[in-house]
Copies of this chain bind each other. A is one copy, B any other.
Amino acid sequence: STSKHAAAGANKNNGNSVANTSHDVSVKQKIFITDPISPGSVFFLPNGAKIFNKLVQFMKLQQEHKFGFKEVITPIIYRKSLWEQSGHWENYKEDMFKVEGQDISKEEYGLKPMNCPGHCMIFKKFDRSYHELPLRLSDFSPLHRNEASGALSGLTRVRKFHQDDGHIFCTKEQVEEEIIKCLKMVDLCYSRVFNFNKSKNNDSSSYIIKLSTRPDKYIGDLEIWNHAEDTLKSILEKSGKKWDINEGDGAFYGPKIDILVKDHNNKTHQVATIQLDFQLPERFNLRYKDKDNSYKRPIMIHRAAFGSLERFIAMLIDSNEGKWPFWLNPRQAMIIPVNTKIKSHVSESKQLASKLRGESADLDDLTPVPFNSFHFNVDVDLRSEPVGYRIKDAIMKNYSYLIIIGDEEVETGRYAIRTSEDRRLQHLTEDEIFDKFMKLEKNYK
């Protein structure tokens, strides 16, 4: 039934761009705003921050407990000399913001457009041994790139954005296995949890793979570039997946595998990326001690599965048109007391809401809200409108579940619950509803 909706949606918003769709849904659901006071930087409103945080939590859990990443939190401004060393000052300067103190010292900094140089600093800070490789660092820092102001738009063309960024430092021998793992992560995301265009076309694969090769502006030797491109080609060949070449679209420090998904207009958008880099380890003189006590240069893999969180959210909205899966929905359930003049209908509605929200409203009780507890986004519609009207309204507002509480429900303690899409009612107790919601959220449904 979700896919039916998405297909219907695709027809409805045909012709609209991803930016337009996400703007329209955002206005209705209060997801984000923008303002000329900070062009290209999104203000996530409470509903948007909920979606953003859920996606980050999902990714942190996968990265840390399935794929062996370790999160770090790194600076946002770095002295100019770092960007000179990394090659950004030479190859990326116009896309960067410059930062300056306003006191006498006037030191010059660059606002980071990427996390890689910061992660190189962490690698370099310690004597590294082959034991520690592959070392996989992840980072959710805000990044800034100075996109032309004319091109700025909602969530899709931004100056400030967040990546589910990660860098793998590994030996030559580990490259293949690590890239295969990166492709598994992509599979987990785009085949298992987020299905962008499965409903759109009956394509067996839900994402597109492109190999982006050496651009005009690049650093390093041609020979190393060719080797890196060949490595990626051979891994893609072995994977048995369909892939394509995107000539000249690599990063300035190395070739990359880009993962794209389609919007409702069949236009492709890049989400994930896996980049092979022999340059930065050279520039930062990174090394590790091998088994034979000799020092070797590690290889660096840059990768992200969502890519830009902002763009990813726009793509989600494009494909769901505001009909979020339960776990991401800032509007998970609406409780509707049948008669708002009957005390028990109202009080039972409020009590159920409080239970599902996991609220702990008694401020004289200083017991903290427990770690990892579940808290669902539940509202109560207390307006004295007819039940049918309030049901329709909640469906229009994209609540996942509607819970109706009247005499029978108060008496039996079993509440009438239905989805937005299916009129059929189930009668469940408070605990059964909580369990049902918990299972959905745990499993990213």
Contacts and interface: CB of A to CB of B under 8 A. Distances in A.
Interface in A95-110: 96-103, 105, 109
A247 interface: no
A73 B51 CA distance: 11
Contacts of A202: none
Contacts of A125: 33, 35, 43
A217 interface: no
Interface stretch (A54-62, A230-238, A421-429): A54-62
For the residues of A in contact with B, the DSSP-based class is mixed
A93 B102 contact: yes
Given A46-B70, A187-B366, A366-B188, A76 B121 contact: no
A38 B372 contact: no
B98 A100 contact: yes
Interface in A258-295: none
A374 to B, nearest CB: 6
Contact of A73 (B48, B74, B102, B193): B48
Contacts of A367: 192
A125 B42 CA distance: 13
Contacts of A199: none
Interface centre among A62, A327, A366 (most CB of B within 10 A): A366
A389 interface: no
Interface residues of A, number: 89
A147 to B, nearest CB: 10
Nearest to A89: B102
B363 A66 contact: yes
B37 A368 contact: no
A360 B97 contact: no
Interface in A14-50: 33, 35-38, 41-46, 48-50
B76 A144 contact: yes
A146 interface: yes
Interface in A359-402: 359-361, 363, 366-375
Contacts of A93: 102
B142 A443 contact: no
Interface stretch (A77-85, A164-172, A317-325, A340-348): A77-85
B118 A65 contact: no
Interface string A305-316: 000000000000
Given A61-B373, A65-B358, A73-B44, A149 B35 contact: no
18 contacts: A37-B121, A38-B78, A42-B75, A43-B118, A46-B71, A50-B71, A58-B371, A61-B368, A66-B368, A75-B160, A77-B97, A98-B101, A99-B111, A101-B146, A103-B146, A184-B366, A187-B366, A371-B441
Given A65-B357, A181-B363, 17 more contacts: A37-B81, A37-B121, A38-B78, A42-B73, A45-B72, A62-B368, A66-B361, A66-B368, A67-B363, A77-B97, A97-B99, A97-B109, A98-B100, A99-B99, A142-B142, A188-B368, A192-B367
